[in-house]
Amino acid sequence: MHDQTRPATVRVFIALAPPDHAKEELARELRPAYATHPQMRWNRIEDWHITLAFLGELPVGTVPLLRPPLAGLAAARRSLSLALRGSGSFDDRVLWSGIDGDLDALYALAMDVRSTVEECGVVLEERPFRPHLTLARARRGDHSSTGEIARGIAGFTGRRWPAERLHLVGSNFGRSSGPIHYRDIEAWPLGDGSSSGS
């Protein structure tokens, strides 16, 4: 009976994505850790992103309602100049890289994204915005790996890059036992794209 019903929800978040050259810079820095800590659950480099708002599981029908207001929000904003910098861990389990650059504008964008989503009727969890890229997760019982790796790349500072697109992203989390895969549902350019840096 139930096998003909398609999933009624999708797990969604709104994010910025570093360009390939910025990700490659950090990946080079991480290469020794990939070799020394193969037991970590390393995120795929193509999935690295800066989450602005995590919407959780939404009814599939809600997603189209988000598109016009998010497109309008993106068009009203300029691109941001950001860089990947340093590292740390959350709860000894989650390894992250920090974000540097136009942080005031980044926080303002995250606040506006959250307000826009809530105006569409989506209830967001009250969690503080901590801009970062999640790089890996330690397995249960491993309390030392994330700290070791974070200390090894604490001095990393990447080159600046323009964040030029706002991404609405969906994931298959919870629907399979394999790794989480993300896909862009849609992405909108920030600003009108006609001014190439000022």
φ, ψ of residue 23 to 5 degrees: the values are -70, -40
Give me the active site residues, please. Answer: 49, 132
* CB proximity list for 68: less than 8 A, separation 6 or greater: none
Alpha helices in the chain (DSSP H): 20-36, 63-75, 103-119, 145-152
Q: Which two tokens stand for residue 55?
A: 């919407």
Cα torsion 119, 123, 103, 93 to 10°: value is: -170
Q: Which two tokens stand for residue 86?
A: 């340093």
Q: Is residue 48 within 8 Å of residue 169, measured between CB atoms?
A: no
d(CA 120, CA 64): 10
